[in-house]
Structure 1
């Protein structure tokens, strides 16, 4: 995994967490309480400013009623979509 790919995955994990939280109409504070995390840390995760440990990912997944693997799959799917979109735009520009 390149640095750019790693950074993109971190950003997409943050977007995935926010999307999951928003789908439940939860505030960051509500998710933080459910996952036993600090609210500001949840915000950092959602903005891609922090990388969750496996334990943190498990806490978030359980709080959201899902699994860490499904959260990662969603983040990876977003990454693939973004990569495909960039390739398409590059081919159009050439």
Structure 2
């Protein structure tokens, strides 16, 4: 769903709806009913429905409860709600390689190529 905002109030409403949409997507992807997520999160299932419909602005503590219900860390839940604000996998890979001594870079590249060739069946 594409959302656009004209003012801070509009932006807040759009973000609240985005959070609700993402919570619903996560819940359905995990095969959970609102009742089961409520049970796992220690939240009322009616409240879960209000969150998903964008009717409620929720606290960080409620996000923490939801992350527990999804068996995710709060960081993982934030990444699913607002992935653009988090480091991409490519940036993570680059960072990991940069942390290694320079003399290991060629070995890492060779391992990566071998893994990709194995995956593609071109080994």
Using structure 1 for the length normalisation, give the TM-score.
0.74
1:70 aligned partner: 76
> Which protein is richer in helix relative to its size?
1
Gaps of 5+ in 1: 79-94
> 1:32 touches 1:38 (CA, 8 Å); kept in 2?
yes
Aligned to 2:21: 15
Report deviation, 1:72. Answer: 3.1
RMSD: 1.8
Higher relative contact order (CA 8 A, sep 6+): 1
Give the whole-Å Cα distance in 2 for the aligned partners of 1:51 and 1:69.
Answer: 19
> Which residues of structure 2 form unaligned runs of 5+?
1-6, 85-123
Larger Rg: 2
Give aligned pairs, total: 78
The superposition leaves residues 10-50 of structure 1 with CA deviations (integer Å, 9 ceiling, x where unpaired) of 00000110011001111000000000111100000000000
Alpha-carbon distance in 2 for matches of 1:55, 1:41: 14
Displacement over 2 Å in runs of 4+: 67-78
Structure 1 residue corresponding to 2:62, chosen from 56, 59, 69: 56
- Normalised by the length of structure 2, the TM-score is 0.57
1:40 matches 2:46: yes
Label 1:9 to 1:70 Cα distance change in 2 as closer, same or farther (>3 A): farther
